[in-house]
Amino acid sequence: MKRFIYTILTVAALASSCTDLEPKVYSNITMEQLMSDAEQNSGYMLSPVYGQMRWFFEDRSVWDLYEIGTDAWVVPINTDGGWNDNGIWQRLNKHEWYTTDPHFSEVWTHLWYGITSCCNRALYQLEEAGVELDEATVAEIKVARAHYYYHLLSFFGNVPIETEFDVPEGYLPETRTRKEVYDFIVSEIRGNMDKLTEEKTYSRFNKWAAKHMLARVYLNAEAWLGPEYASKRDSTIILCDEIIAGGRYSLDDSFSHVFSLDNTNSPEVIFSIPYDETTKSPVLHCIYAKTFHWAGKAVYDAASAGYNGLRAIPSYVEDTFDAEEDPVTHNCISYNDRRYADTYLMGQQYDYVTKEPLSLRLSNVDVPYNHTNHITSPTAAGEFEGYRYGKYEIKIGQKWETDQDWVMYRFGETLMMKAECLLRKGMAEEAAEIVNEVRARSFDENLPEDVRTLTAGQLSATVEVNGVPVRYGEFLNELGREFCGEAMRREQLIRFDDVYTKGSWWGHTASGQEHLHLYPIPDSERITNPKLKQNDGYPE
Amino acid sequence: MAKTGINRLLAVCLAVIMSGLAGLASAQGFKVQGTVTDSSSDPLPGVGVVEKGTMNGVVTDIDGRYEIHLSSPEASLEFSCMGMKTKIIAAGGRGIIDATLEEDAIGLQEVIAIGYGAMKREEITTSITRVKSDDFIQGGVSSPLGLLQGKVAGLGMAVTSGDPTASPSISLRGISTLAASSEPLIVIDGIAGGSINSVAPEDIASIDVLKDGSAAAIYGTRGTNGVIIINTKSPQAGNATVEYHGYVKMDGMIGQEDQLSAEEYRSYMQNPDFAGMGMNDFGGSTDWVDEITRVPVSHNHYLALRGGQKNTNYAASVTYSDRQGIYEKSMHRSLAVNVALNHSMFDNRLRINFSLKDKIVRDGYVPGEIYSQATMRNPTLPVYDGDGNYYETSNGQNPVCALNEYTGINNSNHLSMSGKILIEPVKDLRISATGIYQGDFNEDEWAGSHRTYAAVYGSEFGSATLSGGHGRDFTMELQADYSRMIGDHNISATAGYSYNRYISQSWNMKAYDFPVDGFGVWNIGSAESTLEGLSSLSSYKWERKLIGFFGRVNYNYANRYLLMASLRREGSDKFGANNRWGWFPSISAGWRISNEDFMKNVGWIDELKLRAGYGVTGTEPGSAYQYISLYNFNTSYMSYVDGKWINGIVPSNNPNPDLKWEEKHEANLGLDFSVLDNRLHGSVDGYYRYTKDLLYTYTVPTPPNISSSMLANVGSIMNAGIEVELNADIIRNRKVNWSVSSNVSFNRNELISLSNDMYSLEYLKLGNLSHVQTYSHRLEQGWPVGNFYGYRNAGLRSQGTQWRIVGAENSAAGEEQKTVLGNGMPKMFAAISTRLDFFGFDLTLSFRGAFMYQILNQYRMMYETLAWLPSYNVPKSAFNKIGEYYNCAPSTYLDLYVEDGDYVKLDNVTIGYTFNTSRQKIVKSARIYVTGQNLLTFTGYKGIDPEAVSITGLTPGVDSCEKYPTLRSFTLGLNISF
C-alpha cells in the first residue's frame, strides 16, 4: 500500500508541473500588447472614432430614422411580397412603430458603440497607456462624441450621458432628461470647437464642422425643448456667420457636383463620411442597394443589383417640386428646377452599353423599365413604380460596396440655417436673399425671375403643406428641394409647425400624437437596464 | 475468479500471473487438461481456469486448450470468461475435462466501459446502456450514431437531413445547457474527444452510453451531455480471420410538399375565383423537384483482418464508402484505415498498444436553398430560355442553375494516433502512460461559374472561396490502477492525470470576377478582385488547454453492496485565474438484492439490483479567451484620415473576467432486473438534473458595455425524467429465437432562472424566422425550453388580406397578443424492435416514435397563402377557404402552422439469411440481408417528415423550408468471414 501511495504521489508531482493554464493568444491583440504599443497604435485606436459613423447609412440605421416615416420616402411592400419584413417599414411609414422594432435597437447600438467604445475607450486607454494626446486631438474626439450624442438627442431625447469608460462593476447608466443631454452636447461642442484646426479636413471635425453641427443643434432647440429656446436662433446665426467669415467654404457651382464621385473636391463639403469599395461593409445603403431595381444593373453596367425597396413618396415629388407630369402616364414632362432631376432616378432607363431602352418581361408582358411618379399602394408596389433615390452619382460598375462619400454637413446648409433663423426673426428680405443665392445654380438664368427666385413674401407666408397650414411653408418646401434625402427631413417636419404628426401624405394619416417626436427607447435595452426610462407615450 | 475479477484485462492478467505462481507451487499436483469451447464448438481462448477456492489458475491458449495441476483430484474447476456463463466442474479424478461455456444471455458478465476503465455489468452502479454490434441498426448506416437509433432510452435522436455528409442530431436527457453544444462526449477506444465520424460503423464492437452524472463525472468537464464510448473490434489472439462486409444502397424521396404542378397551376389560373391573383404563365412545364433530384446509389465495403498470438496480436481494417446524395454533386466518399497492434511481455507485466486510424473524406455539397427554391418556383417557368441560358426571374435563383453552376467540395483528413504502455511493477498495481494525437485537416472549395445568378445579375462574375483548417489535439494521460480482494471485500482504485491541448488554425481566401470560367478555386490569383485588391484573405489561430486530475475508488462487498466514488479536478484556460479549476465529484452505490440470502429462494428472479448515484459535471464555454480583453483590426471601423484609409483597432470581444464553470448536478436512481430464467430483463431509471451558473450570451446594457452581448454565468435549468428499458426473449431454442426489446423515456424540462445579482432577465426571444421577421421561441423563467411564442388566429379579415389576431381582432397586434403556441421538444421517446431467428433466417422490425411536442411547419407558414401567387408556387392547401375568404394575407407566424409532431415510424425492416458454414472449412460465417429504412410514418403532421426537424438546442421543432429532404432507403448487404 505504501508503494501504491508513493506511486500516486510521484504521478501527481510529475503532473503538477504540467498545470500551466495561461492562455496563448495568436491572432488577436492582447490588452498588454495594446497598451505597450499604444503610442504606435494610437492612429488605429482612434480610427473608429470616425469609422463607426459609416454605420449611420447602412440598412436600418440612422438614415432610415431621419427619412422613412416622413413625407419624402417610403419602403412599400412590393407586389411579390418583398420588403414586407413583418411590417417594420409599414409601421415606420404610419408612425405605428413598436418598441421592439429593429431600427431602434440598431441605431441605439451604433450610436452608443461610437460613444463608449470608439470615443470614451480610446481616450481612457490612451491616457492609461501614457500616450499624451495634444489638446486638438482630445477636442476632436469630444466633438466627434458630441456628434453621436446629437443623433441620440434627435431620436431618443432622454438618454444617459456617459463620458467614462472605466466604470465600477454592476454600474448601470441612468436616463437623463433631453434638456440635460442638450446642455451636455452644447457645452462639449462649445468647449472644444475653438481648439480644432481651421484648415479644411474633409472627413474630420475641424472648427467649422463643429460650429455647423452646433448651429444645427441650436436650430432645433426650440422644437425639442420649448419656446424659451427660440432665442437660440441668434446663436445659429452667429455660428453660421463665423463659418461664412472663415472663408474656407463656398457654394459649389453645380448642385450635382456636391454628390458626385468627385465630391472630395467640392468647395461646399464641410464634413463628409467617406466610403470606399475596398473597405466593404458598412455601405451607403440608401443611394443604391436599397433603392435600385435589380434590373438597374444594366443602366450603370453595375456589378451588383439593387433590392428595389426605397421609393420617393409621389405626393412629395408632386407637391414640392415645380415639375409637370402627364396625369395618365405619370411621366415627367418638364421641370425648371435642376434639383428635380438631380434628386431622383426617374423615367425610362437605358442600357449603358447598347443605349437601348430597357424592359422586363413580367406576366408574359414586356414592361418598360420606366420609373413613374405613381405607386399603386404602400402594400402593393409594382416593379418600377415610384421615383428612386438618385442624388448621388452612381458609378459605372457600381457595387453594393459604395465608393461615394456621404455629405454630412455642407456650406449650402450653413447658409440655409442662417436664412431660416433670419426668416423666423422676421427678416424675410435677408432670408430671401440667401435662399436665392443657394437656388441660383439650380435654375437656367434665362428663366423668368419669378421661376428662379422666391420672394420674402412667399417665404414668410403660411401655406398648406401635407394638408395643414404651415408658417414659412414655402421655406420648408425649399428645404425639401435642396436637402431631399440628406437625413434631415424628420427634424424639418417637426420644426415647421409639427407637420410630422399633424400632416397627412400618401400612405400616411395625421396622428397629432406629439410623443412621436421621440422614438421609443428600444425594448432590448430596457430589459437589460432597468434604469432606462421609456419615453412618454410609449407602453412601459 | 469471477468474484474477484474487476475487468477483463485484470481477469486475464491475474490468471496469467497465477498460472505462473501455480506452476511453481504445484508442479507436482494432479494434472488435468482439456479444451474449452463455446456452444458452437469453437475454441475459446483466454478463458480463466482456476482450482476453486485457491489462487491456482491458468488461461486457455488460442486453441482453447489448458493444462492445470490441481492440489487434489477431487477439486473443482471454475471456468470463467467475459460474456460467458461461469461454469464449475468437479474434477472427480478425471484427467481430461472439456468444458462448453454458454453465452451469457443478458451479458451480465459483460465488461462495460466506464471511463478510464471497465467494469463487469453486474457491478455497475450508474446508468449506462450498452449496445452491442448484434443489436445495431442495420443497413447502410453512415454515422456510428445511427447505429444507436432507438436503442438507448433517453437518447433522443433525429435524422434531420438526407445529406450523405450529415450526422443525426442527438440529445441525451433533455436540454441541460443553454450556450454550449448538447452533443455528448465521444470516446473512441479510450480516446476522448474524437470525431464520431472518424470510425467506420462496421468496425464497432459495442457502444456504451454513460447517461447519468455519476457515470460521466470522471470525464469532468466534458461529460455534461453524457458520454458515448465506442469500442472497436479489438485484436484477438487466434487464427487470422478475414471479414468482409459490403452493401449497396438506393435512396428515394419519402414525399414532397404538395405544391402545384404546371397543369394544376394553369387550371387554377382559369378559375375565375383566382383571376386577379397575379398568377403568371411563363409557358413552360417544369417539375422543379424532379429537375434537381436523382436516384442515388451508394456502396460501402469493409475488409478487416484480425489475428495473432497470445502475446502479439493485431486488427486492421479498411473501409471504402461511396455515398450519393439525392442531388447530383451531393456525395460523400471516404477511405478509412484502422490498425491496432498489441504486444505483451514479461509474463504480461509489460503491455504495449499502438493504434492508428486515418480517414480521408471527400464530400460534395450543394447550395442549401435549392430544395426550397424548387418547391416555391413557378412550375410554368422553363429551366432554360430560348438561347439555352438559365431562365431567371427576380423571384429566387433557378435551382437547376444553382445546382449546376456552384461546386462545393470539402476534403478532409481525420488522423488519430495513439500509443499506450502499461506496466505492472507489483501485483495488483498497473501504471500506464498514453499519448494521443488527433489531427483534423480540412479544405473547402466553393466556386460559382459565370452562369450563376450572382454572376449574371449580381456582383460576382465567377466566385471562388478556398478555406481550410487544421486542428491538432494532443493528449497525454498517466494512470495508475490498483485492485485488491480481501475476503469478501473487493477494492479497486484508479488515479490519473490528463493533459489536453487543442490548437486550431484556419484560413480563408475569397475572390471574384474571373476572366475565364472553369478555374474553380484553383486560380484565385487571376481574379479581377485580386488584381484590384478586393479579394479577401483571413487567417486565425487559437488554442485551448484542459488539465485534469482524477481518481476513483470502487468497493464491492460480497457482490452485494457496491460503491463507487470518483473525483476530478479540472482546469481550463478559458477561465480567469480565480475560476480556472473546478471540482467534479461523484458517488454511486448499488445493492444486488438478488444476491442476498433472503432472495435465494425466489427462483424466478435472476438478478435484481438497485442503484443510486449523484455526480457533478462541468461545462466550459465554446470559445476561448472570453474572459480576457482582446482587440483586433477590423475594416468595418476604418476611417479616411488625411487622404488615407486607416484600419481601426476595436475590441473583438466583450470580456467577462468572472466567467466560471457551468455545473450540472445530477441524481440518478435505477433498478436492473432479470427474471424468469433471464427471459425478461431490463432497467428503470429516474433522474433529476440541475444545471446552475448557465453559460449564455446575455444581452447587456450599452452603455456602459461596449457591445450588447456578453458571455456570462446566469441562471439555472432543471431536467427530470424516467427511462425504462425492457427486453424479452419470448422463444429461445435451438432453431427459433424470438426476442422483443423496447424502451421508453420521459423528460420534463424547466428553466428555473435567468437572473443573478448582476443580470436580470425574465425571458429570451429566440429563433429568427427571417422570412417573416420575427422570433419563433420564447424562453421564460418557469417554462420549458422550446416554447413556440406567437399569435393565435381568429380567422381572416379584410377580404382575406389580413389575419385577425386573438386579442386584437380588428387592429394591429403587438407583443401583448402573443402566447405560447406549443413546444418543440418531444417529452417522450419510445422504440420497440423485434427479432425473429428461424432456421438461418432473421427478421428484424424496428418502430420508433417521439411524442408530445409540436412542430412549426415553415413551408405552410410561408407559402400557404395566395399572396405569393404573383411570385411563387404555393401548395394546393392554399386554395382552401379559411372561413369565408381565401387566405391572401402576407405570411404570418400563427398557431395555425404549429402542428402536433407526434409520430411513429416503421424505421427499419431487415431480413437476413445466415448460411450454414459448418460443412466446409473455408468460410467461417456468411450472411446476406436486405434492409428497408424509413419505410412508414404514422403521424398527423402535414409536412414531409416530422423526424426531419431538429429537436436540439434552444429553438427545437422548426421545420425549415431550406432543408435537405430525408430519404427512404433500401440496402442489400453481404457479410462474410474466412
| Inter-chain CB pairs, A–B, below 8 Å | 255
Q: The C-alpha cell of B451 is what? A: 452562369
Alpha carbon of A363: minimum distance to chain B alpha carbons (Å): 5
| Position B17 pLDDT exceeds 70 | no
User: Inter-chain contact A21–B572, Cβ cutoff 8 Å?
Assistant: yes
The type of residue at B407 is: T
| pLDDT tens string A411-434 | 999 999 999 999 999 999 999 999
Please count the helices (runs of H) and the strands (runs of E) in chain B: 9, 53
Contact residues, chain A, for B868 at CB < 8 Å: 80-81
Total residue length of chain A: 540
For the purposes of burial, counting CB atoms within 10 Å of the CB of B74, is it exposed (0-12), middle (13-18) or buried (19 or more)? exposed
Q: What is the mean pLDDT of residues B366-387?
A: 91
**Chain A: residue nearest B544 by CA?**
A23
User: Inter-chain contact A48–B650, Cβ cutoff 8 Å?
Assistant: yes
Q: Report residue B40's pLDDT band, with 50, 70 and 90 as the boundaries.
A: low
pLDDT: is A170 or A502 the higher one? A502
Q: What is the mean pLDDT of residues B102-128?
A: 75
pLDDT for residue A5: 64
Contact residues, chain A, for B544 at CB < 8 Å: 23
**Chain A: residue nearest B634 by CA?**
A48
**Chain B: residue nearest A199 by CA?**
B642
Strand order through the sheet with B763-769: B763-769, B774-780, B787-790, B819-823
pLDDT for residue A360: 83
- Concatenate the DSSP letters of all residues of A356-417 into one string: PBPEEEETTEEEE-EEBS--SBTTBB-TTBS-EE--SPPPTT--SS----EEEEEHHHHHHH
User: Inter-chain contact B573–A3, Cβ cutoff 8 Å?
Assistant: no
| pLDDT tens string B239-251 | 888 999 999 999 9
φ/ψ of residue A483, rounded to 5: -115, 20
Q: Choose the closest CB to A26 out of B480, B542, B645.
A: B542
**Domain residue ranges of chain A, discontinuous segments joined by +:** 1-74+90-173+510-540, 286-404
Least confident window among A307-321, B23-37, B130-144:
B23-37
Q: Report residue B436's pLDDT band, with 50, 70 and 90 as the boundaries.
A: very high
Contact residues, chain A, for B703 at CB < 8 Å: 112, 115-116, 160, 162, 173
φ/ψ of residue B919, rounded to 5: -90, -10
pLDDT for residue B732: 85
Residue B541, chain A, CB below 8 Å: the answer is yes
**Chain B: residue nearest A298 by CA?**
B457
pLDDT for residue A11: 59
- Cβ-contact B690, B718 below 8 angstroms: yes
| Position B108 pLDDT exceeds 50 | no
- Cβ-contact B175, B825 below 8 angstroms: yes
pLDDT for residue B18: 41
Of the candidate CATH numbers 3.40.50.300, 2.40.128.720, 1.25.40.390, 3.40.30.10, the domain formed by A1-74+90-173+510-540 belongs to: 1.25.40.390
Q: What is the mean pLDDT of residues B178-186?
A: 79
Residue B633, chain A, CB below 8 Å: the answer is yes
Q: Choose the closest CB to B870 out of A20, A80, A109.
A: A80
User: Inter-chain contact A47–B705, Cβ cutoff 8 Å?
Assistant: no
Q: What is the mean pLDDT of residues B493-521?
A: 94
**Whole-number Å distance between alpha carbons of B410 and B361:** 8
| pLDDT tens string B756-813 | 777 777 888 899 888 787 899 999 999 999 999 999 999 998 888 889 999 988 877 8
**Whole-number Å distance between alpha carbons of A522 and A539:** 11
pLDDT: is B809 or B4 the higher one? B809
Alpha carbon of B972: minimum distance to chain A alpha carbons (Å): 48
pTM: 0.83
- Cβ-contact A492, A479 below 8 angstroms: yes
Contact residues, chain A, for B646 at CB < 8 Å: 43-44, 47
User: Inter-chain contact A304–B458, Cβ cutoff 8 Å?
Assistant: yes
**Chain B: residue nearest A169 by CA?**
B758
- Concatenate the DSSP letters of all residues of B596-660 into one string: SGGGTT-TTEEEEEEEEEEEEEEE--SSS-TTS-EEEEEEEEEEEETTEEEEEEEESS---TT--
Q: Report residue B26's pLDDT band, with 50, 70 and 90 as the boundaries.
A: very low
For the purposes of burial, counting CB atoms within 10 Å of the CB of A146, is it exposed (0-12), middle (13-18) or buried (19 or more)? buried
Q: The C-alpha cell of A248 is what? A: 474656407
pLDDT for residue A49: 96
| Position B970 pLDDT exceeds 90 | yes
pLDDT for residue B12: 44
Residue B387, chain A, CB below 8 Å: the answer is no
Residue B435, chain A, CB below 8 Å: the answer is no
- Beta-bridged to residue A119, according to DSSP, are none
**Whole-number Å distance between alpha carbons of B464 and B537:** 12
Question: Which residue is listed with cell 428497408?
Answer: B932
| Position A491 pLDDT exceeds 80 | yes
| Position A13 pLDDT exceeds 70 | no
Three-state DSSP at B579 gives helix
Interface of A with B in 324-353 (CB under 8 A): none
Most A CBs within 10 Å, among B513, B631, B866, to test the A interface = B631
Q: What is the mean pLDDT of residues A59-66?
A: 96
For the purposes of burial, counting CB atoms within 10 Å of the CB of B63, is it exposed (0-12), middle (13-18) or buried (19 or more)? middle
**Cβ within 8 Å of residue A413, ≥6 positions away:** A212, A216, A483, A488
Contact residues, chain B, for A524 at CB < 8 Å: 699, 708
Residue B433, chain A, CB below 8 Å: the answer is no
User: Inter-chain contact A277–B701, Cβ cutoff 8 Å?
Assistant: no
Alpha carbon of A81: minimum distance to chain B alpha carbons (Å): 7
Most A CBs within 10 Å, among B274, B387, B394, B868, to test the A interface = B394
**Whole-number Å distance between alpha carbons of B674 and B683:** 9
Contact residues, chain A, for B542 at CB < 8 Å: 25-27
Least confident window among A403-412, B231-240, B462-471, B874-883:
B231-240
Question: Which residue is listed with cell 488519430?
Answer: B416
Q: Give ipTM to 2 decimals.
A: 0.91
Q: Choose the closest CB to A98 out of B458, B646, B815.
A: B815
Residue B712, chain A, CB below 8 Å: the answer is no
Alpha carbon of B138: minimum distance to chain A alpha carbons (Å): 44
| pLDDT tens string B569-616 | 999 999 988 899 999 999 999 999 998 988 888 888 989 999 999 999
Residue B625, chain A, CB below 8 Å: the answer is yes
Residue A41, chain B, CB below 8 Å: the answer is yes
| Position A82 pLDDT exceeds 60 | yes
Alpha carbon of B780: minimum distance to chain A alpha carbons (Å): 13
User: Inter-chain contact B478–A14, Cβ cutoff 8 Å?
Assistant: yes
Contact residues, chain B, for A14 at CB < 8 Å: 478, 497
What percentage of chain B reaches a pLDDT higher than 90? 53
User: Inter-chain contact B497–A24, Cβ cutoff 8 Å?
Assistant: no
Q: The C-alpha cell of A232 is what? A: 437660440
User: Inter-chain contact B649–A44, Cβ cutoff 8 Å?
Assistant: yes
Residue A451, chain B, CB below 8 Å: the answer is no
Residue B474, chain A, CB below 8 Å: the answer is no
Name which of B259, B261, B324 is nearest B294 in CA terms: B324
pLDDT: is B79 or B613 the higher one? B613
Interface of B with A in 869-898 (CB under 8 A): 870-871, 890-891
Q: The C-alpha cell of B517 is what? A: 470560367
pLDDT for residue B22: 41
Exposure string over B943-963, b if 16+ CB within 10 A, otherwise e: bbbbbbbbbbbbbbbbbbbeb
CA distances from A376 to A73, A361, A373, A384, B836 (A): 15, 19, 10, 11, 70
